[in-house]
Structure formats: structure tokens, C-alpha cells
Amino acid sequence: MAYVDMLRTFVRVYELGSMSAAARDLRVSAAVSSSRISDLEKSLGVRLFNRTTRSLRATAHGELFYKGAIKILDTIREVEGGIAEITANPKGTLFVSAPLAMGKILVAPLIPAFKTEYPDINVRLRLSDRKVDIAQEGLDAAFVLGPLPDSDLRVRAIHDFERVLVASPDYIAQYGMPRDGDEIISNKHKCLLLRYPGATEFYWNLVVDGEIRGFHPEGSLESDDGDVLTAWALAGCGIASKTRYNVAAELDAGTLVEVAPATPPTPQPFSCLYPHKRLQDPKVKLFIDHVIKGIRTEIDRAAAATSSGKI
């Protein structure tokens, strides 16, 4: 398996652009990562990367070799998956991502039961509200909240979450209750914004007279963590756009109230994305089926527990 380890290391170095980042991702030391690349270059008789103290870039040979290495590793994955399916003993490691709040509440709690049923499958779950690049980050599956970009990835739709604009009673007492999106903008309400590195547009899509309009809110507080926005809204710092599911308890308790109800945000789809070849791997299909089933069960339970019956 030494040569396969070299290939896997090369692919991650190429995709992440860093020996140390690839080493962390593969859970080996930077020295091991560097040694594998050096050994691979010696075996091939060519240089795969141009290295300086500040950068690492693939050579023309490296660019060509990457395309072939991906095909080899995909073939190995398919063969291993086929053997696992025959033996009914799936094993290996799954790399999965999910949004912070939804990942903590909906995805993470389902993993222990999956691990109990399939003890030979390891799961690496990464939680972040930033947009992820499934191919670049070597993910087997990504749970995504929000509109999906055009891509050749496969999609499993899970649920369309209602969104609401919310603020605390203290904020409304001090600044007034906006009736719609136009009043939020014209009265310069303080808005709490979800922003992250790499994001290029910041706006709220609201439904106005049956049509979707983009509003550009302003505010002095922003974070890349949706839970932080909820905490700030509870503290009276401004208006946040949240899924009704995430703030259902606060709405029922009255610690947050819905604002601008005449122009609600558009629903937000929750989906699972995966490269089409990955579902040929039994452990990927088993995991996705397990999590989606569990999420839908939890959504039904949560909706029944709210006063509105909506999530």
C-alpha cells in the first residue's frame, strides 16, 4: 500500500497546495508527507512540484500525473467498495461536511448510531457555515443549507426550511417593528449578517407581493457562525435571518419575535451533495441514507412540537 499512500498524499498536496495542510488532512506528520512526495518523484523520475519557502505549485508533469492519480484512486475506491458490499462488511473513512448549526443539531447526533451499526466505518465530520468545495476538500458528502450552484454533483433533497426575520422584544421596543423589507432598509435597522471568507454577495431574498426581491441589509455586526447571530439577536443587537427550525424554541418562548412578516425570506433548501461515483461505494450510500432518514424524522418531531406546527 506504500505506493497508494504516495498517490493519496500527492493528490491532497495538489488539491490543498500545501505539504503541511495535506499532512494534517491525512493525519500524518509533515515529514512523512514530504518524504512520500520525494519518493514518488524519485520513482517517476520527474519533479511534480516546484517548491519555494512561500509557495508550492504543480509542474506540467504534476498537472498530468494528478489526472491519472485521481482515476487510479477512484478505481481502488470502487473495487474496495465492491468487495465490502459482497462481504457485507463496509469499512473505511468517510469525509463529511455540514453547516454549523444544522450539523450540530441534525447530523452529528445521528452518527453514534451509525457507528454502532457499522463499527469499521470512520467518520470525519467538519462543521462550518462557509461554502465548501467538495472536490477540492476530498469530501464524500456535504450537507448544504441554501441554494445550490450548478455543478455535476448529485443532489438528495431533504427539506425546505422556512426562514424568518427575528429580533428581541427589547430591540423592537427601542427601534420599532418594521412591517416589511423596505422599512428595514429605509429606517436603517441594525441587521446581523452571516459572512465568511470567500463570500461575494450579501443580501436577503424576501418575498414581496409573490415576487422575490433582493435586499441589501446593513449592520455593524457580522459573523461566520449562525449561532452567534442568534445570540446577538437575543441580546437585542439587531435583526437576524434564521431558519424557523433554529429559533423555534425562542419564538415559542417570546424571547425572539418575527419581524417584517409582510415580506418573509424565501425558504431555504437543505440538501446532501456528493460526487456521483461516491455513491457506488456502499459505505457512502449507507451513511447518506441513514442521516437523511434520521433528519426527516427529527424535522417531523420538531414541527409537531411547535405552536405553529411549521418548521
Domains and CATH numbers, the chain: 1-88 (1.10.10.10), 90-157+273-311 (3.40.190.10), 163-266 (3.40.190.290)
**Does an H or E element contain 117, and which?**
helix 111-117
Say which DSSP state 299 is in. Answer: H
Three-state SS for 14?
helix
- Pairing between β-strand 268-274 and β-strand 154-161 as defined by DSSP bridges: antiparallel
Q: How many helices (H) and strands (E) does the chain have?
A: 11, 14
Provide CB contacts within 8 A for 5, sequence distance 6+.
36
Model pLDDT for residues 154-181, shown as the tens digit of each residue: 999 999 999 999 999 999 999 999 999 9
d(CA 161, CA 191): 21
- Whether the pLDDT of residue 184 is over 70: the answer is yes
- Whether the pLDDT of residue 87 is over 60: the answer is no
- Out of 75-89, 201-215, 287-301, least confident range: 75-89
**pLDDT at position 197:** 66
Contact 233, 256 (CB under 8 A): yes
**pLDDT at position 27:** 86
